């Protein structure tokens, strides 16, 4: 994700494109929360190897499609299928302009993602961006033996919060699908509900020009940590190092409206 700038795939006038939240890119479509993107790439990394063939169903902004292309290398290939023509054009234009080398191994198709893209298969990895309880037969048939099909489902916690579940199926040599993974992922949160993130530390390898959490640029080090989603009173800790001033800026808060700031010498 360090090599693929999320901002290129967001709406050009979105001043909050680097927030840890899904963003509207128009035409009823969004670019997913970067936490979700990171989780998907981590889960699929063992199959996203040089030379792999990938199908991205519901490719949307094209951000994750482009990350896949980076990981599979020059001998790999990625097909992104999206049903909204304007979004397909947007994704294709972004990769052509900003990632011309990767664009050579990406093919964006406007069509029904449930049908996949048989012409490019069979695939080592099929990523289904939309939430679904059923694996479409056409996608099943386009998966290589021992290939992985990734899907998401939405669960609900007792508190009424929605939880994103990661599910991976592996196609067996006899053609059957075996569920390899069914793992809880990120809480589905609103833009401002940052205190509910799961136990993770997210690193942004750049410095922001605006205060947390509204980072519209990044060219230094951000670190965000929340200890437990079930205890929203726990504070979020955030820091970055300003190399020009040699200072370390740290923030901690229980809510966005109660933000405490302090500054110490950089390590």
Categorize the per-residue pLDDT at 135 as very low, low, confident or very high, splitting at 50, 70 and 90. Answer: confident
Is pLDDT above 80 for 93? yes
Q: Which residue has the higher pLDDT, 245 or 167?
A: 167
Show the DSSP H helices in 84-203 as ranges: 85-98, 100-103, 137-141
Burial state string for 7-22 with b = 16 or more CB within 10 A and e = fewer than 16: bbbbeeebeebbbbbb
- Supply the pLDDT for residue 35: 80
SS (H, E, C) 205-233: ECCCCCCCCCCCCCCCEEEEEECCCCCCC
Q: Is the dihedral of CA 111, 117, 119, 124 positive or negative?
A: positive
Q: How many residues does the chain have?
A: 267
Token pair for residue 217?
A: 């640029």
pLDDT tens-digit profile of 167-180?
Answer: 899 999 999 998 88
Token pair for residue 2?
A: 């360090």
Categorize the per-residue pLDDT at 153 as very low, low, confident or very high, splitting at 50, 70 and 90. Answer: confident
254/267 Cα distance (integer angstroms) = 26
Q: Which residue has the higher pLDDT, 37 or 183?
A: 37
Is pLDDT above 80 for 66? yes
For the chain, the domains span 6-207
Categorize the per-residue pLDDT at 246 as very low, low, confident or very high, splitting at 50, 70 and 90. Answer: very low
CATH number of 6-207: 3.40.50.150
pLDDT tens-digit profile of 180-228?
Answer: 877 766 544 433 333 333 222 233 323 333 333 333 333 333 333 333 3
């Amino acid at each position: 994700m360090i090599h693929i700038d999320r901002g290129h795939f967001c709406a050009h006038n979105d001043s909050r494109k680097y927030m840890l939240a899904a963003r509207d890119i128009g035409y009823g479509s969004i670019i997913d929360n970067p936490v979700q993107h990171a989780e998907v790439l981590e889960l699929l990394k063992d199959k996203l190897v040089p030379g792999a063939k990938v199908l991205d169903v519901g490719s949307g902004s094209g951000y994750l499609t482009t990350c896949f292309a980076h990981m599979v290398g020059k001998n790999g290939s990625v097909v992104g299928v999206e049903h909204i023509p304007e979004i397909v054009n947007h994704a294709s234009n972004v990769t052509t302009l900003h990632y011309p080398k990767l664009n050579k191994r990406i093919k964006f198709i406007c069509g029904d993602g449930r049908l996949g893209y048989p012409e490019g298969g069979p695939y080592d990895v099929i990523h289904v961006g939309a939430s679904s309880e059923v694996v479409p037969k056409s996608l099943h048939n386009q998966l290589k033996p021992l290939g992985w099909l990734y899907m998401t489902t939405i669960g609900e916690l007792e508190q009424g919060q929605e939880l994103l579940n990661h599910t991976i199926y592996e196609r067996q040599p006899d053609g059957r699908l075996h569920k390899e993974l069914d793992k809880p992922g990120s809480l589905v949160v609103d833009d401002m509900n940052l205190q509910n993130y799961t136990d993770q530390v997210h690193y942004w390898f750049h410095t922001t020009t605006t205060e947390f959490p509204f980072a519209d640029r990044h060219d230094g080090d951000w670190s965000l940590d929340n200890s437990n989603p079930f205890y929203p009173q726990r504070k979020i800790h955030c820091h970055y190092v300003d190399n020009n001033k040699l200072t370390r800026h740290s923030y901690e808060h229980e809510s966005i409206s109660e933000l405490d700031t302090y500054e110490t010498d950089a390590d």
